[in-house]
Structure 1
């Protein structure tokens, strides 16, 4: 579990601003569940989704997401992981593969979080931010996520990553505008086998 508690260059909760916000959000919280809820709702509601609000700059590491108050789903999940880890709560990163257009010909990864809760275990939360047609909540043990993969090529990937996927950090690192990110949304190939889906 220790790897889900460590700081890193992307999940940089050792940064003074991140640590200060992590402490202020959870001051007076009387349970781990309440600490998680406060951190989740802060990132969901106070950090604006770059595409929804058409905002620059493109952010990646938690401290930059906090400073600029904007990020794509991936970046928002980096900040939430940092805030949770700063409070001693194990947190990781998860991904879904979703259709990126109505035709089903283009797919992309969506980033969200998993947090380890007392008496529940790993529980997924999605801080991307609500908008018409999308509403996420923290109400364990029920998961209320932004998206539910349903198409034949869509997937819920079961892995819980301690660090973001390299293709995510590479994309966010090289793109200067949200339009550039949208034009190059990351995807991973899904291989169909004779024995089912992989």
Structure 2
């Protein structure tokens, strides 16, 4: 479990502002499950999705997501992992491969989280941000993610990774605007996914 609690350049949960927020969110919560739900709802509702709100800059590091209060799904998952880890809750990264426009190709990765809860083990949660047609919730043991797969080339990868995928980090660090990112969303083929352990 230690790798799912680690501090890294991207999941920089030991930054003072992340530690302060993690304590604030956890205050009044009596269980790890309650803390995880509070962290999830904070990131889902308080950090604006870059595309939905057409916001810059493109963030990647957890502390930058917190500073600018905006991020694509991947960046939001980085902050949620940081808040969970700061509260001693193991957190990892999950991905789906989804149609960008719900019409088939082109496809891109969608990023979200899993947290290890004492009473049930790994539980996947999607803090992307709700909007019309998207209603992600924290309702264990049921899983309620933002999106479901519907095409043959889509995939709901079951792997839980301790660090974000390099292709995701590279995309976030290369792009500077929400519309530039939209044109360069990270993707892996189903064949590549096998090689990545997804």
TM-score, normalised with respect to structure 2: 0.95
1:150: how far off? 2.0
Q: Which whole-Å deviations, capped at 9, do the CAs of 1:109-165 have from their partners, x for residues lacking one?
A: 000000011121111000000000101110100000000112111101111111111
Aligned twin of 1:71 = 71
3-state SS in 2 of match to 1:101: coil
Aligned twin of 1:29 = 29
Which structure 1 residue ranges, 5 or more long, are not aligned? 192-197
Structure whose CA Rg is larger: 1
1:103: how far off? 3.2
Aligned twin of 1:164 = 164
Confirm whether residue 5 of structure 1 aligns to residue 32 of structure 2: no
Between the aligned partners of 1:136 and 1:102, the Cα distance in structure 2 is 18
- Runs (4 or more) in structure 1 with deviation over 2 Å come to none
Q: 1:40 to 1:102 in 2, by over 3 A?
A: closer
TM-score, normalised with respect to structure 1: 0.95
1:55: how far off? 0.0
The number of residue pairs the alignment matches comes to 193
Shifted more, 28-37 versus 82-91: the winner is: 28-37
Shifted more, 43-52 versus 116-125: the winner is: 116-125
- 1:44-193 correspondence runs (5 A): 44-191=44-191
RMSD: 1.2
Between the aligned partners of 2:120 and 2:151, the Cα distance in structure 1 is 29
